[in-house]
Structure 1
């Protein structure tokens, strides 16, 4: 058992390390933040509700309190562009001082397709996840451990970009991540903060490489979720534990659906079909991924 823990610790240290050093990490995050702000606020029009709530929990929460932010996923640049727009640029350039920026996840075959690209994303605090690897792959244990240590992780609970214009089915992984982080933090729940956005699907639509201009982007930040009536069951086992994951996922989904009604509708990005047809294709794709069940309310 000790050897397995040693292997996991070594894996985590490697995954979390800054390949270009701590100053290199701050420079990477800062430059990406400036570019993101330019695209979102200069090339396009940006408005946000609840910015103070977001900044309070990101920048001023208890140092031992882990944070999970969740939102819908409509383009490949939702993170970093929206995250960077919600926070001051100085927060990113000072990463080497406070180490408070978010960790995020990206498909390994995209973000780590070569050594240089992998170093860039690792320097930008983006970790590789294996598509089809399930919800118990090693990187998810690393993420849960970081949350338990009081760090911030951003998650797209849909598990992929959804092009239908509405929130897609949520994966159980968010429920499992909450329970795993709570267990590692000796029963302390992480803060789970939802936000919802519209317009990014027009800024960087499906198959686009360069961002578009002249679009309206709207973000609404919700309140932290009270999950205590559910997380108290996180010590269950077997099917009972999976039921807890589902219930947490449903609670997260309900919060996102409520926020969805407060922003302008997102564009339908399906090509060659109606919104209903694209939603059906999305459900077919989800059902074709064994070990990654979904829930939609």
Structure 2
């Protein structure tokens, strides 16, 4: 399908009108679900708003969050005061290929909505991860769910997949990494509502809470040195055929991605524990 219709994701596709139309329609839906059908409260919203609207030129932003339902994105951007309908300011997001890109119609729609297809289990060097890296290289905003799948239980943040960590490490300019934890989407779109399936429409009169943390600092050069040092004594990994990166072989890369992932996981878990107890 031509790199999964990547041409449809370009801002100048048909003058940008299809993208603006889809972003506005989805944004309006998100506003309605978040504010009319349900109530949404956001702690530290300015931290996100300021970075979306006015971060330093050329510096990319990665937001990371837990994953409570299939509605998390886009509805988590529907809170009051957020430029949800602005196609230029909206995020790019990694989206599951087997859900969002099943056929040409869905592929076109999600491409217009600034979604990048990811094959779950396809590894961190799969084709479209390079596309995500291109967005970061252009200083854009990317959202990821590093847990990799929906979890509706009130449980600790699971071990994170390494894809987000690899993007942080490989981006030419280290992104600003902003952690977000939310709660309530599992009630708006429960996975096993009717006969073990999701409801046909979002439920209402639920409370959605979002806690936005502070940016996580990453000194990538220092972390690389640490990973290289540790990797000399860590040769037990199964080789997956990763290409060399930044002077690091596959073992060193794994050490680096594990370190970055664990740092993010700790921050997300701390937010979860302090926010919803």
Quote how far apart the aligned CAs of 1:244 are: 0.7
1:202 to 163, 187, 199: 187
2: CA distance, partners of 1:84 / 1:74:
16
- Aligned partner of 1:220 among 205, 211, 227: 211
Cα distance in 2, alignment partners of residues 62 and 12 from structure 1: 30
Aligned length: 247
In structure 2, how many angstroms separate the alpha carbons of the residues matched to 1:230 and 1:77? 36
Provide the residue aligned with 1:269 in structure 2: none
2:120 corresponds in structure 1 to 131
Residue 176 of structure 1: aligned partner: 166
Residue 221 to residue 92, structure 1, CA distance change in 2 (3 Å): closer
The equivalent position to 1:16 in structure 2, one of 9, 32, 53, is 9
User: Shift of residue 231 of structure 1?
Assistant: 5.9
Distance 1:178 1:53 in 2: 19
How many Å separate the matches in 1 of 2:222 and 2:187? 37
Question: Which structure 2 segments of 5+ residues have no match?
Answer: 192-196, 225-244
CA gap of 1:86–1:248, structure 2 versus 1, over 3 A, is farther
1:108 aligns with 2:97: yes
Runs of 4+ in structure 1 deviating by more than 3 angstroms, as ranges, are 10-13, 18-21, 91-94, 229-232
Would you say 1:254 and 2:266 are equivalent positions?
Answer: yes
What per-residue deviation string (whole Å, max 9, x for no partner) do you get for residues 86-109 of structure 1?
Answer: 653xx34442xxx33211122222
Contact 1:107 1:131 in 2 (8 A): yes
Counterpart Cα distance in 1 of 2:272 and 2:62? 19
Return 5+ residue gaps in structure 1 as ranges.
Answer: 1-7, 266-297
Distance in 2 between residues matched to 1:38 and 1:13, nearest whole Å: 29
Task: Name the counterpart of 1:276.
Answer: none
Q: What's the counterpart of residue 275 of structure 2?
A: 263
> Could you say if the C-alpha distance between residues 144 and 229 of structure 1 is closer, same or farther in structure 2, counting changes exceeding 3 Å?
closer
Mean Cα deviation higher: 223-232 or 67-76: 223-232
Alignment of 1:140-159 (within 5 A): 140-159=129-148
Name the SS for the 1:68 alignment partner: strand
Equivalence for 1:289 = none
Give the counterpart of 1:75 among 69, 73, 79. Answer: 69
For residue 237 of structure 1, report the CA deviation from its aligned partner. Answer: 2.6
User: Comparing 121-130 with 70-79, which one deviates more in the overlay?
Assistant: 121-130
Distance 1:211 1:231, change over 3 A: farther
- RMSD over aligned Cα atoms: 2.2
2:27 is paired with a residue of what secondary structure? Answer: helix
Check if 1:163 corresponds to 2:174. no
3-state SS in 2 of match to 1:105 = strand
8 Å Cα contact 2:39/2:206 also seen in 1: yes
* TM-score (ref. length: structure 1): 0.77
Within the alignment, does 1:245 sit opposite 2:257 as a pair? yes
Q: TM-score, normalised by structure 2?
A: 0.82
Q: 1:13 to 1:45 in 2, by over 3 A?
A: closer
Q: Which residue matches 1:286? A: none
Partner of 1:51: 45
